[in-house]
Amino acid sequence: MEIFTSWTSWRQAEGPLGEVLPPETVGALRDAVTFARRWHGAQQRPTGRPYLDHLLEALEVAVAGAGVDDRDVLVAIVLHDVLEDTPCTEAEIAGRFGPRVAALVRWVTRPRGGAKADHLASLVKAPPQAVLVKLADRASNVQELQRMPWRFQRSYYLETVAYIMPLAGSHPWFARWYAEWRERWRRVERWPAH
């Protein structure tokens, strides 16, 4: 199973992106990273790592792994958590990156006060481009499941198997990646519930 953790800064991502994407797309991604960095500020992942690491990992999964080259999908991957985790509004995303990017981010954003399981289940109705955003996001989150607090590993694993893996079926690269991931982490299924 391939792991995507080599882009921990825009400087590390820009060169590889420039080799496979048009300059306009790389420029849009540079703007998106700056925008996300401003909104996420000093936020950290549960592991204590800077939040930007996760966004760049998800981008690396999509580009270096799945070969995604759709500008709006890639920008949405970088911005996928700004509505859920910051005061940023959909209008601000649309004004800066266009209504399609804003719509993709909205699809993957859990409504405030909404149940996580309900939101994940609703993604079966999402456009394929929004599904790509979610698949890259979750791949970043689970590729090294040991980074997660151990108490949450089993529930997050089971949630991924139940809600995310079915979404991967129509995307061959993601279907293969998640199947390999599940095989690697299948032992978690035998752990007792916490």
Q: What angle do CA 144, 147, 148 make, to 5 degrees?
A: 110
Helix (H, G, I), strand (E, B) or coil at 44: strand
Residue 44 forms beta bridges with which residues?
A: 50
Q: Which of 69, 85, 118, 189 is catalytic?
A: 85
- 104 within 8 A of 76, measured Cβ to Cβ: yes
Q: Which of 14, 31, 53, 84 is catalytic?
A: 84
Would you say the C-alpha torsion 101, 69, 30, 132 has a positive or negative sign?
A: positive
The whole-angstrom separation of Cα 192 and Cα 133 is: 31
The whole-angstrom separation of Cα 4 and Cα 50 is: 16
CA-to-CA separations, 160 to 15, 131, 134, 137, 153, in angstroms, rounded: 31, 13, 11, 11, 10
- Specify whether 85 is catalytic: yes
- Specify whether 118 is catalytic: no
The whole-angstrom separation of Cα 29 and Cα 56 is: 10
Give the active site residues: 84-85
